[in-house]
Structure formats: C-alpha cells, structure tokens
Chain A
Amino acid sequence: MTAKLPGKLIVRDFHVFHERTEALRGINLDIQANRILGIIGPAGSGKTTFLRALNRLNDLVPEMHVEGQVLLDGQDIYHPSFDVVSLRKRVGMLFALPVALPMSIFENVVYGPRLSGVRDRVRLNEIVERSLKAAFMWDEVKDRLQMSGLRLSGGQQQRLCLARVLAMEEVEVILLDEPCSGLDPISTAKIEEALTVLKSLYTIILVTNNTKQAARVADNTAFFLTGEMVEYGNTEQIFTVPRDARTNDYVTGRFG
C-alpha cells in the first residue's frame, strides 16, 4: 500500500488567510516521494494557493499569512530558521503561463545553477544538456542554445521552464500549476511523458483543471473545494469509486 511510504511533504492543519478571508481551511495531507499527486477542483478552490504555499511563493503577497505546518523531510518550512531560498531550490515550480525569461535558452536553463554559484563552463554545459534532455527538448534546441527563450513556442517555453527547474541540482519536489492549460495536445503529451519519467527521481504535485489529465498521469489525487480538501486517495479510486458525493459530481462533470 502506498499509504505506508514516508511522506516527503507532510501538511498538518494548514490554513492560509488572505486578509480576512480563509483561502485554505485546515488541510491535512501526506505527499509521498516519487509519486505524482494530482490536485483537482473548480476555480477558487484553493489549489493554486496550496501549491504556492509549498515553496512559500505566497510570502511575496504581504496580505497573506499561514497557520499550521508544512514539513519537508520532517522540517517545518515555515519555521523562522528555515531558509526560504534553499526551500525554493529544493521545491521547484512551473507556472500556468510559461515564462521564459528574456535571455538565451542557455541562460534560462542555468539561471538556478548560476545563483547557486556554478561558474565552470563545462559543468554548465553538462547541466544544460542533462536538463533539456530530461524535459524532452534537447534535440529541438541543441543547435540554437544562444537564441532568446522568448522566441520559442508556448509548448517549448513550458518545457524550457521544466528544464530550468530540473537544472537546479538541489531540486527534490516539482510543483506544477496547470502547466498545460495554454498548450496544444502534442505539447501536453510531451509534458505528461516527461512527468511520468521524472517521478522516479522527484516528488511531483500537479494542479490541473483537466480532470482527465489527473486521471492519466497522477498516482494519487486530491479533490479541493472552497478551501477544503474533500477527498484524497488513489487516483483510480477517486475516479471510479469516490467516497464523497461532491467528488463524484466533479469527476463525472456534473459541476465545476
């Protein structure tokens, strides 16, 4: 049983407040290593807020504060002694809109490693090749690494973003916030293929509006609704025999 594996990320009674409104109301969740966790739910259910809480990107929004605990390998990431920079290097993120930084493909990929102080050209070249291969785009761009990342198509940019996360040698968890929402089916398939390969090395959390995508790639699935986690379980069980009526309504497309 998957439930016996140790949790890579353990979320305990976790609340997020945006000014006075409670965006997340007491989430409890054990996220296992080397699995893909799909998070589904209608707009405004707190999926993205939850995701952004896991690498403390919500810190950038001054009106937000949190209660409860998120443990990464047993350590509370919201504890004052926890270094947020090292957290973000360990917990990488892909956004809904692919954002290539306005610099070359090469410089995009080595953005993280350069911040970590990698200067050696040979090593940077290795990192670029390894990351772009892992994101299934090495062959497409290997001859034009000095081209601006902005000139890539949306699907390519999203894989470039994936490569940029994978380039960080410290990364253990990959958060994806509807990474395929703006992509065509072929680009989507490439991202999904990459994820299923990458889960042997990383812990992956995939927020998606596309329930079919969760059904295709996620090992476990959590259903969020109005800031609460309604149900969490094995993907097959969630999609075939959900315990909660609301989950059933959502996965069968009756609302949301």
Chain B
Amino acid sequence: MRIAPKYTQMLAVAVLGGATAFTVVVLLFIIVFVLSKGLPGVSSEFLFSAPKDSGLSGGIFPMLVATFVLPLMAIIIALPLGVGTAVYLTEYTRETRLTRVLRFGTDCLAGIPSIIFGLFGFIFFVVMLKMGWCLLSGCLTLAIMVLPTIIRTAEEAIRSVPNSYREVSYSLGATRWETVLKVVLPNALPGIVTGVMLGIGRSIGETAAVIFTAGSILPRSIPVSVFEPVRTLSVHFYILAREGISNEKAYAAAAVLIITVLLVNLAAYGMMHRFIARRSR
C-alpha cells in the first residue's frame, strides 16, 4: 500500500526535524554541562596566573598563551603551503591521474588519527632533528596535520569560483598568476577561511599530536622562545583529569577552552563577513 504524499511529507518533516533537534540538544547539553561545572572555577586570577602544585592550585595563563600561539603558528605555516598546493592543483595542472592520486593521498592524510602525526613529529622533529619537545616541534607537527584539510577545502573553494570570472580575466589580458591573484583567490576566500577555521579548531583541541611534540611539562611562565616546551589547555586538561589532580581545575580549563574556540570562530566569521560586505557594496 502506498502512503499518501501528504503523510510522507509529514513524516519527512518529523524525521529531519527530530534529527536536528537531537543534534542540537546533545551539543547544548555538553556545552552547558561543561560550562556549569567549569565556570565557577574561572576567575581573572585563574586566567592570568601561572599554575602551582602540578595544577592543583594557581591558574592557566601559560597554557592559555600556548593554546593561542601553537595553532596560530601552525596555520601561518600551513596556510601558504596549503593554498599554494590547492592553487597549483586547480589552476596550473590539468586533471590527470597524478592529480587524482595526489587528491586521494590528501584525503587519506586528512583521515589519519592525530596520534600518528604526533608519533611522526616525535620521531622526526623531536628525536631526529634533535629539536626536543618544544613549541616549534609542536606547531610543525600541527601544520602537517591540518595541511590536508586546508588543501581540500581551499581546492573546493577555488573550484566553486565561476569559470566565467577566469575567462573575463584572461580575455582582458591577465596572465594566469594575475587571474589567480585578482579573481580566483578573493572569491575563494570565504571557503578558504572555513578550511582555516576547521584547521584551527582541530589544532586548538588537539592533544595527542601535541603531547608528543610540544611536551607536557608544567610551565612556570609563558614561553619566550620557540624552543621551549609548552603545555596547551587541552593537554593540561588531559593531565589534570587523567592524573586525578583536580576535577574542579580540569572543568575550569575545559570551560575556558570551549569559550576560546567560540571566540576564535566568531572573530573569523566576523572578519569574513566584513570582507564580503566590502566587496559587494
């Protein structure tokens, strides 16, 4: 028996709406749970002082700084490499077996568990290059880790730029490079920013890749050189919870981490919207 379209329509609305509601509720529950447990422990003293007694008391300032600096440096390294690769693959090469293999490779890399990147970073940067556990080892490892995401999102963004824009640019006597610079990249920017945001989000919350490369030593102050070991908030949280040092401090650190990610996202989207608004005024 065939169900009347009117009822399948109602069923579809109910199922889709239910899926959305479920997702939102789970997300909200996690956020509210962590914030309600963590926020009472967050104070300006907690935010801006160094930890004491392995984190049992004191604050998280050095970790907070590391949490910003590490992903930022990773993105500064990964962005030009990733966007450059994406531009080369889309604008400078024809679709061949080689580009398909490269794309498949980046897709595979994007799916590799971060602990593998951590292990690689440990063996290559920390041990082989004798860099030791430090900020630089950490951000190089994170850069490699987020590179596939940036390449693929930038590639999709570049592909979505209408071909007619390129034709117009070429027909006005632009070279390939001028076309990339003046037409392709500005119009792919929103998509590239999305990729960067995914990359930042992934590296801010990253624990496994960081603990092996940037270290987990409890810092006394903020890092002053890239060759100093650092501990990020997520690593700090992991150790506090894992070693059972202080649940209260762990939740406070988690709350700060969630708010940090939120603020970074808001800032990036704000910047992007301002850029788009300026171009379509």
Q: Name A's B-contacting residues (CB within 8 A).
A: 55, 57, 60, 62, 85-86, 88-89, 92-93, 95, 97, 99, 101-104, 111-112, 115-116, 146-148, 150-151, 161, 164-165, 168, 170
Tell me whether A168 and B164 are in contact (CB under 8 A).
no
Q: A-facing mask of B146-179, CB < 8 A → 1, else 0? A: 0000000000000000101111111111110010
Q: Name B's A-contacting residues (CB within 8 A).
A: 94, 162, 164-175, 178, 182-183, 186-187, 279-281
In Å, the complex CA distance between A62 and B182 comes to: 23
Q: Is the interface of B mostly helix, strand, loop or mixed?
A: helix
Tell me whether B165 and A101 are in contact (CB under 8 A).
yes
Closest to B168 in A: A99
**Chain B: minimal CB distance from A13 (Å):** 26
Tell me whether A62 and B279 are in contact (CB under 8 A).
no
**Chain A: minimal CB distance from B175 (Å):** 6
Tell me whether A148 and B172 are in contact (CB under 8 A).
no
Q: B residues within 8 A CB of A103?
A: 279
Q: A residues within 8 A CB of B165?
A: 99, 101-102
In Å, the complex CA distance between A153 and B72 comes to: 43
Q: If the complex has contacts A102-B279, A148-B280, A150-B280, are A85 and B173 also in contact, measured as CB distance less than 8 A?
A: yes
Q: If the complex has contacts A102-B187, A115-B178, are A57 and B173 also in contact, measured as CB distance less than 8 A?
A: no
In Å, the complex CA distance between A148 and B187 comes to: 14
Q: If the complex has contacts A95-B164, A99-B164, are A148 and B281 also in contact, measured as CB distance less than 8 A?
A: yes
Q: B residues within 8 A CB of A148?
A: 279-281
In Å, the complex CA distance between A55 and B167 comes to: 11
A115: contacting residue among B162, B167, B168, B173, CB under 8 A = B173
Tell me whether A102 and B280 are in contact (CB under 8 A).
yes
In Å, the complex CA distance between A161 and B164 comes to: 12
Tell me whether B172 and A147 are in contact (CB under 8 A).
no
Residue pairs across A and B with Cβ atoms less than 8 A apart, 27 shown, are: A55-B171, A57-B167, A57-B171, A60-B167, A62-B94, A85-B175, A93-B171, A95-B167, A95-B171, A99-B162, A99-B164, A99-B165, A99-B168, A101-B168, A101-B169, A102-B187, A102-B279, A102-B280, A104-B281, A111-B172, A111-B182, A115-B173, A146-B281, A148-B280, A151-B280, A164-B172, A168-B172
